[in-house]
Structure 1
Amino acid sequence: MNFLFIGLDGFNILSLSQKGYYQFYPLLIVIIPAMHLFFINIDKDSKRLNYNELVHFIFPVLLVVLNLTAKRFLIAVVPAFWIKLFFSILFEAYIIYYTTITYAFLKKKIWNREPDLINMKQNRILKHWSFFIFYLYSLIVFHLIVVISMNLKAAGNDNTELNNYKFFPALLLNIMYFKILFTPEILYGYNVMHDKIKQHNKSNFILTDLWILDASEEINNVQDRALGKKIAEYTSNYIHDIEKLVFKHEIFRNSNASINDIANKLKIPKSHLTFVFKYMSKVSFTEFKKIVRIHDALQLIEKDYLKSNSIESLANKVGFSSYSPFYTTFKEVTGISPQVFIQQRKKGK
């Protein structure tokens, strides 16, 4: 929108680049807090407008009003340079503040986030691309500060220096825009778990991200290598049968369920299952059991199990001996506590 208006202004359709003390691009004062809110909402799961976030746009509006007031009433009594200097310092402080708090948020909530065992791939992609977008954003901010500082040295009150450097931020913003537009992981944020659960039946495997279907890791153990060659054509069927047993037949609701139980139910050697979890799974059998049980709990919550039952009852039903290990595992797998998840679900409704 910013560069669209600048383009219209170039054709004299609009008049946005009037001489004065407006030391920033049209709409840029809105882009700054909007970028901050974009990163903040990566970590949220809400389809409704949060009106509290509108507070971030109060200062931009006041800045515009103050600028117009200065152009209308102060130009005759205050030297132009001092007015230009005031607005330049004010705006630079404004963008540095938002860049700083955005960096602090990303470092704490996204880049150093506790691993989420269900959405490991999603977490990795978000960390990489949020860093990439913030890097581009920081370049734009740095460029803007340099140009505004250079513009202070320009003669007169126009924005000649500022207008000479539009290509660089235009290029960066377009790269950022198209990357966001064509990368669903960035648009959706962390909270894609529910959609994944609903789409499980559309894929060959429910927990696709946990399985290494094209494992290329060299197996050093001679016996394991020989076993791997022997069962290579059956491993996909093994994984399918394992998921069917734990999800459809809910074998892990038994708190004492073990890998031996799965082997007996599927009537395959235990050594075959051990190989699958050792070389074809990103998690151990113990972690797999945790993920499946929490997956089971999420499904029951979606079916309103807690309307007539307690969380302790839910913990026992999905195979935990008590509430304490359920709470710890739930937070480890989903990244949030059961109470927070339930509250977010209620707000989503």
Structure 2
Amino acid sequence: MSEINTLAIFYAFSGGASWLLGSLSFLGVNRVNTKADRWLGAFYCILACTFTKIFFEEFNVGGGFLLHLLELPTWAMFPCLYMAINYFVTPSTAKKDWHLHFVPFLLFLIFSLVYLMPNIFNRENQLPVLPPWIQFIVRYFFSGQMVYYWIVCFALLRRHQRNLKMVASFTEKIDLEWLRYLLISVLFFILIRIGSIANIHVTYYSPILYFLGIILLAYSTLTQKSIYTIETYQPSEKDEITAKKTLNERLTTEQVEELKSIVTQKTVDEKLYLDSSLTLSVLSAKIGISTHELSYVLNNGLGKNFYQFINELRTEEAKLLLLSEDTKHLDLLGIAIRAGFNSKTTFYTTFKKATNLTPKEYIKAKSKVT
């Protein structure tokens, strides 16, 4: 067996691992978001088909028909990943235009059924020679599709991270790390693919590199947690525009100022911010206005999102607690919890951003003053 074929064995490992990941995803790794897991499972199964095809080609296993069957779903791979990410970050939003992402795959399928497959059987199980322009599309369209959908998926994740702070005063229990690792792993695959086209040395070592990428994907998938542990604030663009237009028509500058005063006074006087699980909908219900109105008042009246508004109040509470004789027996985690913070990490980050000092540095600074 040649050295190249020895390296090609890693395609078999990658294919087998992908089939396993696909099966686990279809079964529901976290059993929280079934639709997202199934789309992710479809992505892994198509990826497994790709690695299986490459392995068969390297070792001359199977004929043109089998290899073509394994290649058929390739153009549906990244739309499946997009649908998975979409359902993970916006599980309650209807995906009305999902089928449009699979149009290229359907066109390729029709082209195969009408032209390629009949010719395979007429040419002794071998693919016909395609015109140069079709070869160009088949070869490079998938690369462009990979880059496009990765950017779109990354944008979905970033938007999700921004929207979390519109509704939640804490983000620690809403785990995004595994999904970020998954996209980083997919980016690693894309770079290998592009590098293989541009450099023969990358092509030579790509079986091992792809296998390393599969290990990264497996880690991110098997360690995934629920992204949503609170209600979402993900209005569609149409609903968001309508809501803003309605609010602009309904709320004058004077009304915004009045609501701003009510929101601030009620939140501070009743110390609602001390509830570590406080969300936008909970606060809006306590104040007696809609979530859209509250969000609009915070953004336009105070210039803050919900996360900033609540945690700044908690920081002020923490300042008092740090210097109080009644809380000298508490450690910093105890102070953080007493001030309404959900974790020590958020407490430190928010406090340092507001004061340019850590809690311990703040105590020392105030002690010197007195």
Give TM-score, length-normalised by structure 2. Answer: 0.43
Higher helix share: 2
Give TM-score, length-normalised by structure 1. Answer: 0.45
